[in-house]
Chains A and B, each alone.
Chain A
């Protein structure tokens, strides 16, 4: 999912950077004192998830966890993902500093979108919430793949072709992410229900 340096045009890079700044500003305003540990832990989880390598498809794929971040953080996922991506670029050479904005948008925008889309389902405990949690993890990766394909249009690669390739390659990841998001949701519901009630009251 990380787009490398030197692939995209300056216009796309600038667009990504602007959107990231706006999203980060909104996210930062939403972080209150109680939310800080939650944002920190999920940012760390996202940072490490990219190292968990799933050997399917032509290219080894890794977990993204942006659906889970959307589910638990909403807008606050943007600064959390930005920090994790910044450190990944610095320490692992994933992506790069100039592409930081675009990469943040491709991963954080689906997180925020899924938060609002599935909020309704997640408010009803039981089966609807469980379906919402799975769908949240599943759709976030799907949307990220589409956004990557969209960003690559400008490089002359045909959208449909790339989108097809990215999506086909990520189907297993979508399912795994859906299951992981579901399990962590169920776990939190059992152990820390007050945390979820705080978000989906």
Chain B
């Protein structure tokens, strides 16, 4: 009977069940995710640049080497090492500020893993200028006593608002940088399998045609 075709194949079915159980067991031991792509991202806060390095999806790169380069000339401005959370922070080099350099931040995570992040000058210069502008502002306050008090208040207010804003923006900056990291999605995986089967399917098609008309 065609509807009971599996009756005679219980041996085969049993083997397939065994293998599936084994594969599920292996998959349960392991967690789905991505290994083997190291990424680094960076953002500026005041006169400091914070970087965070990880292996996708979420393992910090411990003791990875970080290099900060000038994007144009490739000159190494400074190097450092990530801590146990994969973080590394550094003061923005004076040279970079003076020449408005775009910074290329490179992570070498060992065993051939490498990640890069480009930090453009305009995304960190603002914070530096504020930080360097602050000391003269505070020393000039006594002198500025002659000027109307309203403007001083406004200046102080602006500074305070800027500071508070920056503090509030840090998590948002972090989130944004995280979002720019491209993650593998299920459609990528299924699409890839489709490509592979498609490529070999095409090949089989042409081979079968060649066989039919020699």
Q: B-contacting residues of A (Cβ < 8 Å)?
A: 1-8, 31, 33, 36-37, 39-40, 43-44, 47-48, 50-55, 58-63, 83-84, 87-88, 91-94, 148, 151-152, 157, 162, 165-166, 169, 176, 180, 183-184, 187, 190-191
Is B207 a contact partner of A33 (Cβ separation < 8 A)?
yes
| Residues in A whose Cβ lies below 8 Å from that of B37 | 2, 4, 92-94
Tell me the bound Cα distance from A44 to B19 in angstroms. 18
Secondary structure class of chain B's binding surface, majority of residues: helix
Known: A176-B26, A183-B22. A60 touches B196 (CB 8 A): no
In the assembled complex, the CB of B113 is this many whole angstroms from the nearest CB of chain A, namely 6
B203 within 8 A of A: yes
Tell me the bound Cα distance from A4 to B111 in angstroms. 9
Q: A-contacting residues of B (Cβ < 8 Å)?
A: 11-12, 15-16, 18-19, 22, 26-27, 29-38, 55, 59, 62, 108, 110-116, 182, 184, 188-189, 191-193, 195-197, 199-201, 203-204, 207-208, 211
Tell me the bound Cα distance from A92 to B195 in angstroms. 14
Is B184 a contact partner of A92 (Cβ separation < 8 A)?
yes
| Residues in B whose Cβ lies below 8 Å from that of A184 | 19
Q: A7-B112, A48-B189, A157-B110 are in contact. List 11 more A-B contacts (CB 8 A).
A: A3-B112, A7-B114, A44-B192, A44-B193, A47-B193, A51-B184, A52-B27, A59-B36, A87-B195, A92-B188, A165-B110
Closest partner residue, chain A, to B61 (CB atom): A59
Tell me the bound Cα distance from A58 to B36 in angstroms. 12
| Residues in B whose Cβ lies below 8 Å from that of A63 | 30
Tell me the bound Cα distance from A172 to B110 in angstroms. 19
Is A55 a contact partner of B196 (Cβ separation < 8 A)?
no
- Offer 27 A-B interface pairs, CB within 8 angstroms, sorted by A: A3-B112, A4-B115, A5-B114, A7-B108, A37-B204, A40-B197, A44-B197, A47-B192, A47-B193, A47-B196, A48-B193, A50-B35, A51-B32, A51-B34, A52-B27, A52-B30, A53-B35, A55-B30, A55-B31, A59-B59, A63-B30, A87-B192, A91-B184, A93-B37, A157-B110, A165-B111, A180-B26
